[in-house]
Amino acid sequence: MSASRIDEQKKSVAAAAAAQQSDNIAHALAGAGGGILSMALTYPLVTLSTRAQVESKRAQSSTLDAVRRIVQREGVAGLYSGLESALFGISVTNFVYYYWYEWTRAAFEKAAVRAGRASKKLTTVESMIAGAIAGSATVLITNPIWVINTRMTACKSESDEQGLPGGQAKKKARPSTISTLIELLRQEGPKALFAGVLPALILVINPILQYSIFEQLKNIVERRRRVTPKDAFYLGALGKIMATSITYPYITVKSRMHVASKDGPKESLNGSLKRIIQEEGVVGLYRGIAPKVTQSAITAAFLFAFKDILYDMMVSARGRARAIKK
């Protein structure tokens, strides 16, 4: 083989690798953008679910009662406690997750081509492995962000405990993300940023189930026609409802562990599970599941729809940029 032929092959391989890297980043950016938009739309439901998980004494009330109580106590802004850290967290989480998921997917697709498989579509097992790799990387990188977010979301106004009937309570200024981080590091040290990381790693099964269900349903639809953002909306919602319903007890435990130092002594994963069951029964593991499943389904639905739209926009913009260069 001539030297020029070898050079051409090297350039071709490098170009393919660069194109794949560009596509991975496009998916990651689209996922981050979709996550921000969907989280902003559904954040009040996050607040309601988190409060129900960590404030068990209040979990018996209805969702509407919880909304009224929060608004009376803290104003409408109370429904958006910790939104800034949540938006930052979801953007980083989705960027990391989609980058690693697409990277793993590309590796499996190349292996399928080399093996001469009829279809390079991911199998259920491959989807689960890709989700496990992406989810584990995401948890380790973003857990500190979600610890801070949970602390801010679960924060209660001073007026709730100190206010007298018929009187006006003196409201305490709501802490910012930075002040919450500084206070946490000062009082508990850097280790506190990784509270709940074990149940979070176990909860990697949530996106594994979600994306595996989504991918397999998407493959079924693709056999008949092109998947539209509307299809992605419904498939994403269905996958998330099933995944969240299965893994919800660990979501509750993770939230409790994030605020454990404020509410009492820290516990192990098994210890926390046993205590919740002993004190509140099995139902205690499902506090706030209604708003959580609703929020998760709506967020996932919007995420998949927005992601597809944003990804198509990026691909179109990239194509126009290449055309201009030529």
Is 43 within a domain? yes
What is the value of pTM for the model shown? 0.62
Q: How many residues does the chain have?
A: 326
Beta carbons within 8 Å of 227's beta carbon, 6+ residues apart: 218, 221, 235, 308
> How would you class 56 by CB atoms within 10 Å of its CB: exposed for 0-12, middle for 13-18, buried for 19 or more?
middle
pLDDT of residue 66: 67
User: Which residues form the domain of 31?
Assistant: 1-55+287-325
Residue 46 lies in a domain: yes
Span 55-89, pLDDT tens digits? 554 445 555 666 677 777 777 777 787 788 788 88
Instruction: Tell me the pLDDT of the chain averaged across its residues.
Output: 76
164 and 210 Cβ atoms separated by less than 8 Å? no
User: Do 134 and 104 form a contact (C-beta atoms < 8 A)?
Assistant: yes
Q: Give the residue-averaged pLDDT of 103-116.
A: 85
β strands within the chain, DSSP E:
none
Digit-coded pLDDT (tens) for 187-233: 888 887 887 777 777 778 887 888 788 888 888 888 888 888 888 88
Q: What is the band of 142 on the pLDDT scale with cuts at 50, 70, 90?
A: confident
Measured CA to CA, the distance from residue 286 to residue 279 in angstroms comes to 13
Any domain includes 18? yes
Residue that has been written with the tokens 């989280």 in this structure: 39
Categorize the per-residue pLDDT at 159 as very low, low, confident or very high, splitting at 50, 70 and 90. very low
Q: Does residue 17 sit within a domain? A: yes
Inside any domain, residue 19: yes
What's the number of CA atoms in the CB half-sphere (13 Å) around residue 22? 12
Write out the H or E segment, with its range, that includes residue 238. helix 229-258
DSSP 167: S
| Structural domains in the chain (count) | 1
The answer to whether residues 253 and 261 touch, using CB atoms and an 8 Å cutoff, is no
Residue 317 lies in a domain: yes
The verdict on residue 26 lying in a domain is yes
**Does any domain span residue 39?**
yes
Q: Which residue has the tokens 């409790």?
A: 256
Of 43-47, 156-160, 174-178, 240-244, the least confident? 156-160
Residue 175 has pLDDT above 80, yes or no: no
Share of the chain above pLDDT 90, in %: 0
